Chains A and B, each alone.
Chain A
Amino acid sequence: MHRSAAIPATALALILAGCGSKAEAPVEQIVVRQPGQPAASAPTAAAPAAGDLVAAGKAAFAVCAACHSVEPGGASGIGPNLHGVVGRAVGTLAGFTYSKAMSGSGITWSEAELQAFLANPSAKVPGTAMAAGQVADAQRRAAIIAYLASLKH
């Protein structure tokens, strides 16, 4: 049997050879600490303050910014401008054409509604045009919503 792409030569030889010596142990192993243990001199991280959450949200929003502007009165892009979106009823931003699914959803964007929507947009509003907006990570989602809630006036 010739060497084959379907049967990588090295792997085949290795498997057909059956028993061989097992791979070597480390020549040198330096253990600094165990995972989850704090570093010896590093200060332990405090719970994030509210301001940190907004800052984290602002950073995380960079992905969303491809489609959404947040400046007061800023023009909408592929998605609507999100300045003051918390507390806003869907489909009410002038000058933006919403999907039928969205404008007919009857949602007013509370933080809880945003939680549900961002967790799985097409499950919350089936037919929404927001194809790429899922934020699966709960912490990240909370940060983004905190940032959006901070965008008023």
Chain B
Amino acid sequence: MNDMTKPPRSRAAKWTRRGFIGAGVLTGGALVIGVGMRPGNPVAKLGPVVAGGKGEQLINSWLKIDADNVVTAIVPHCEMGQGAHSALAQMLADELEADWSLVRVMQAPADGNYLVPDTIRAFVAPGTLDAPDWLEPTWNGLFTRIARLADGMITGGSSSVRSTGQHTMRIAGAAARQMLIGAAAQEWGVPAAEITAANSMLSHKASGRSAPFAKFAAAAAEQDMPQTPVLKQPKDYRLMGTDAPRLDIPAKVNGTASFGIDAKVPGETMSYAAVRRVPVPGTRVAKMDASQAKGMPGVLQILNMGDFIAVVADSYWQAQQALNAITAEYTKAESPVRSGADQFARFAAVLDKAGESGGKAVVTRGDAKAALAGAAKRISAEYQAPYLAHAPLEPMNATVRVKDGRCEIWTSTQVPLMARSAAAKALGLSADDVTVHHPLLGGGFGRRLEVDYVVMAARIGQATGFPVKMIWSREEDLQKGLFRCADLSRIAGGLDAQGRLVAYSSVFTQRHDPADACDCAFYDIPNKSIRHAESDLHLPFAAFRSVDHSQQAFFIESFIDEAAHAAARDPLEFRLAMLGQSPRHKAVLEKAAAMAGWGKPLAAGHGRGLALVESFGTIVAEVVEVDMTKGKPRLTNVWCAADPGFAMNPDGFRNQMEGGIVFGLTAALYGEISLKDGAVEQSNFHDYQMVRMDECPAIAVEIINGDHQKLGGAGEPGLPPIAPALANAVFAATGKRIRALPLAKQFV
């Protein structure tokens, strides 16, 4: 944060949105186009950091070109399987007119010059992304300040493509193209307007001259920054909207991809730490007996850190074996919650107190109370969602070297700058003395938005004084981390004499993000009261893929289905009738229904269910067909229609819908973290089941490009509709309404 006091200067002065992004150096925001390699600006500083290769020329902070004409996009977001690296490079390459086979990706270093203020902005105040030009200076300044304060180099919220891709990478590519053309125009003595760029080549038709980008890379970096780079219209997209092959796949197929857990400290003998956190959150190690562990093979050090125990050894296995031999006693927990039943009883007490109008109003429309009282028919239901673990394939880990007042960290993280600040604070260092290397993530799902594990490793590294790689066991990862919150929701609705939903009232205990996840604004319901009655959580919270939508979509879309049945209407018809003001939502729902053959007769014991959710700017409808003839739910098909505005890479987008569906299905069918004596009961994949290959339904995805100026996300929106669509299908097949997840538990 200390570099915030001296905002670097730039010649770019026009405070338009694009101008700001172009001149990001003004506030340390995004792009430093056009300021070239002159001394005293960040490109001069960044050059040696990101363009160390032979003959490489940094054109601006987001792309470099080497002597072989290879363009490298420097991407500030992390890659956790969601395809952001490749999609962002694709957007940059399209505007640049680069040959895709000559494009590479590089992870931007954890450096204050690679903040992503638009990601923050998409979250905190998405409405301002379309703000009028005269407001831009205010918003940009504000969000860049927030990004700085919050160490905003963040990957989350399904936002990379729609924020950084749209507002930074494309502009970086377009500006660099103009700068290359400008350099060629000077060299060739012809008007810039006569020069065309295509396939990483520049050419001038009249004189028959052409040359690769690389020839003009150095001169381009000296060009003035275009104040308002001209972006392509969809009709001119060449790579955007195509299935350009993902750049990260080959390394993942041939095994050369390097993840956080693969890190080694260069030139050092590695030691390994296994850790055991206290079993119940908030407790402490009261007594540790390491007498047996001390003599075990490979053991170097045994640490009682107060809130956890660590064994450091020559190998991870030796460390874990010795840790298993340590017995400990813990202090008594302050939280009175001992079981899942205790947690839900606390939620229920809070909701009882809130009653029909208590709690903090989130959405108020019309007069829900009066409309409910006057309704022809009233229905109400209570839904519950359990705690969930993220369970990424790569367990939490971090490798650290703390030496001579400096700390170097290698770790998979969605928030490298927050990891840097948190480690610095824990060690009493300045953030400048901490370097974070952040390789590929073996799964994030929101768990790696938290930095608890990085701080633990830093503390171990400081205590030992030699480099240590800390790896959590699978059991540790599942039991002692942070969790998707459990929640309880009560919803009441009123139908008029024509069977229309005229009143909707809901209250629930958990509200984290996004702010509107508890609403279903696209349905035209005249009277609404949506309230949040907060209740504390026994297990610590971390955002889970789709965050609040992961439970709210189940509550809302299950209830809408119940309302349809109470009105004796078809669930599809019932929803369509409420979508008069939402043509894009209507189109998506109709598409999914058509794909599924909604309304066609089904075999006995089979049922179809549907759900419609908008999350992270993308509208998704899913239809599930379930076979209940064996007494347990078996999904045969999922049909998914999605409108992300415009899918930059349709193959990647479909991949994310499929991934979200399977991830959400695991949660809906089996996901449950339960408590015993205040500690997590589950320990590994045998009792925290994933959906297996033989249970996975056939999944069909169709994309509607509904509005290329209003992009939605991809990583999360596939998940929310699957749980309610499944529960609704089970109801259609059996008449049994499931109001508590996980669903499979209700059929054993």
Q: A residues engaging B (CB < 8 A)? A: 1-12, 14-16, 18, 20, 22-36, 39, 42, 122, 131-132, 134, 136
Contacts and interface: CB of A to CB of B under 8 A. Distances in A.
Contacts of A33: 300
Nearest to A17: B425
Nearest to B449: A8
Interface string B288-320: 101000100111111111100000001000000
Interface residues of B, number: 62
Interface string B131-161: 0000000000000000001111010110100
Nearest to B250: A131
B463 A25 contact: yes
B451 interface: yes
Interface in B241-300: 253-256, 269, 271, 285, 288, 290, 294, 297-300
Interface in B469-517: 511-515
A34 B300 CA distance: 6
A32 B422 contact: no
Which A-B residue pairs are the 7 nearest by beta carbons? Answer: A5-B543, A23-B426, A28-B304, A6-B123, A30-B302, A22-B428, A11-B418
B114 to A, nearest CB: 15
A5 B427 contact: no
B337 to A, nearest CB: 20
A23 B452 CA distance: 12
A15 B303 contact: no
B542 interface: yes
A95 to B, nearest CB: 26
Contacts of A31: 300-301
Contacts of A24: 305-306
A2 B150 CA distance: 14
Given A7-B123, A15-B149, A35-B271, A26 B254 contact: no
Given A7-B150, A16-B149, A28 B300 contact: no
A9 B514 CA distance: 13
B455 interface: yes
B459 interface: yes
Contact of B299 (A32, A131, A134): A32
Interface string B150-180: 1110101101000000000000000000000
B112 to A, nearest CB: 13
A123 B145 CA distance: 47
B154 A6 contact: yes
A12 B449 CA distance: 11
Given A11-B450, A26-B463, A36 B149 contact: no
Contacts of A23: 425-427, 455, 459
A6 B157 contact: yes
Interface of B: 1, 119-120, 122-124, 149-152, 154, 156-157, 159, 253-256, 269, 271, 285, 288, 290, 294, 297-306, 314, 415, 418, 421-422, 425-428, 446, 449-452, 455, 459, 463, 466, 511-515, 540-543, 547
Nearest to B296: A32
Contacts of B314: 35
Nearest to B121: A6
B451 A6 contact: no
A33 B302 CA distance: 11
B428 A131 contact: no
A31 B446 CA distance: 36
A35 B450 contact: no
Given A14-B422, A24-B306, A7 B459 contact: no
Contact of B159 (A6, A22, A30): A6
Contacts of B463: 25-26, 29
Contacts of A22: 425-428
Nearest to B151: A15
Contacts of A36: 269
Contacts of B300: 31-35
Nearest to A42: B297
A36 B464 CA distance: 14
Nearest to B547: A5
B127 to A, nearest CB: 14
Contacts of B152: 7
A42 B449 CA distance: 43
A56 B119 CA distance: 49
B253 A132 contact: yes
A5 B446 contact: yes
Given A7-B154, A35-B271, A131-B253, A26 B304 contact: yes
B120 A7 contact: yes
Contacts of B427: 22-23
A14 B297 CA distance: 39
10 contacts: A7-B124, A7-B154, A8-B542, A8-B543, A11-B415, A15-B149, A22-B427, A23-B459, A122-B254, A131-B253
A22 B421 CA distance: 12
Contacts of A14: 421-422, 425
Given A2-B515, A11-B451, A39-B297, A27 B285 contact: yes
Given A2-B515, A9-B541, A23-B426, A30 B290 contact: yes
A15 B150 contact: yes
A6 B450 contact: no
A35 B269 contact: yes
Nearest to A39: B297
Contacts of B515: 2
Contact of B302 (A9, A10, A32, A35): A32
